[in-house]
């Protein structure tokens, strides 16, 4: 069974209100590195990122397919980067109560929304459709770690349409469901990595954003670089070298903690990571720049 990665093109945007999870994080951690689509809580520092597999020529029809066949075809289309065809296949089952179909439809809807960024009304409709599907998947299968993971991602996406207060409030929900996904499947490196990003983002939140959060909530979301580091390390232990961005974030977190030796170790691994995607190339460039900065300071 393919799992999926939210579009984490990616990481932190220290400026203002962008989005939260743009990459898929489905069930299996291996596929995470192929199409992570994770849009983060922009207000609190997440940046939209996306990673799509190379497109392949695929022709899909749901007619005559049984449930397992539909899932197999859907996973093939997903791995092939055929977002439009995947959505057309799965939307035929939008009234299904099958959680496996529903969370995949949620993922396909949000991926399609990202591809159609210029069409504002259509994008918004797809974002809310994704959330509705993820919610139904969760209601149908509360023990599904993929349903929890995708629900967290989709909750983050709708924050762009619901204001700052809702975005901050949603941060608690997002954290809760990422933590539940990890509890249900502690071997899913993707969920662990995303929880690390949540912690890193709130640890890095500028003081003026903290002031706004404190004015709106008695106990706004918070975290530390130590917590973020723990998740990034854990993700690496679960699946070594599964994602170039995890290596980069290990290096960046060690930099925040003033441990230059370990920062250089992980940044070098990120720089030397084989560049299979555009995101990998961006990681290499950033790691190279950070290493050069360390050398200059030394």
Q: Could you read off the pLDDT of 231-274 as tens digits, one per residue? A: 999 999 999 999 999 999 999 999 999 999 999 999 999 999 99
**Nearest Cα to Cα of residue 288 among 250, 255, 259, 248:** 248
Say whether pLDDT at 127 is over 90.
yes
pLDDT (0 to 100) of residue 199: 96
4: left (phi over 0), alpha (psi -120 to 50) or beta: left
Write out the two tokens for 62: 């749901």
Say whether pLDDT at 174 is over 50.
yes
Whole-prediction pTM value?
0.75
Residues near 189 by beta carbon (within 8 Å), at least 6 away in sequence: 29, 32, 235, 236, 238, 239, 242, 243, 246
CA angle 89, 138, 80 (to 5 degrees): 30
pLDDT (0 to 100) of residue 128: 96
Mean pLDDT in residue range 13-33: 34
Q: Which strand (E) or helix (H) includes residue 148?
A: helix 145-158
Look at the block and give the residue holding tokens 């903690």.
257
Q: Euclidean distance between the first and final Cα of the chain, in Å?
A: 48
pLDDT (0 to 100) of residue 177: 97
CA dihedral (285, 287, 288, 293) in degrees, to 10, reads: 130
Say whether pLDDT at 20 is over 80.
no
Per the prediction, the chain carries an average pLDDT of 80
SS3 label, residue 224: coil
Mean pLDDT in residue range 14-34: 34
């Amino acid at each position: 069974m393919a799992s999926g990665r939210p579009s984490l093109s990616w990481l932190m945007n220290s400026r203002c209100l962008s989005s939260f999870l743009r990459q898929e994080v489905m069930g299996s951690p291996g596929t995470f590195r192929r199409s992570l689509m994770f849009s983060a809580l922009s207000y609190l520092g997440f940046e939209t990122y996306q990673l799509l597999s190379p497109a392949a020529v695929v022709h899909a029809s749901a007619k005559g397919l049984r449930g397992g066949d539909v899932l197999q075809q859907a996973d093939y289309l997903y791995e092939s980067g055929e977002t439009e065809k995947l959505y057309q296949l799965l939307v035929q089952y939008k009234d299904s109560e099958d959680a496996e179909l529903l969370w995949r439809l949620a993922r396909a809807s949000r991926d399609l929304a990202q591809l159609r960024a210029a069409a504002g009304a259509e994008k918004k409709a797809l974002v809310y459709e994704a959330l509705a599907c993820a919610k139904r998947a969760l209601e149908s299968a509360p023990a599904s770690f993929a349903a929890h993971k995708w629900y967290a991602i989709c909750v983050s996406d709708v924050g762009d349409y619901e204001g700052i207060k809702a975005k901050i409030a949603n941060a608690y929900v997002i954290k809760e469901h990422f933590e539940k996904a990890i509890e249900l499947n502690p071997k899913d490196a993707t969920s662990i990595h995303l929880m690390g990003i949540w912690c890193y983002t709130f640890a890095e939140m500028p003081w003026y954003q903290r002031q706004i959060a404190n004015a709106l909530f008695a106990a706004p979301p918070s975290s530390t670089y130590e917590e973020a580091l723990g998740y990034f390390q854990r993700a690496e232990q679960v699946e070594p070298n599964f994602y170039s961005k995890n290596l980069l974030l290990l290096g960046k977190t060690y930099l925040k903690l003033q441990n230059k030796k370990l920062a250089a170790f992980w940044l070098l691994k990120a720089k030397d990571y084989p560049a299979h995607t555009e995101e990998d190339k961006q990681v290499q460039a950033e790691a190279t720049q950070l290493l050069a900065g360390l050398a200059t300071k030394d």
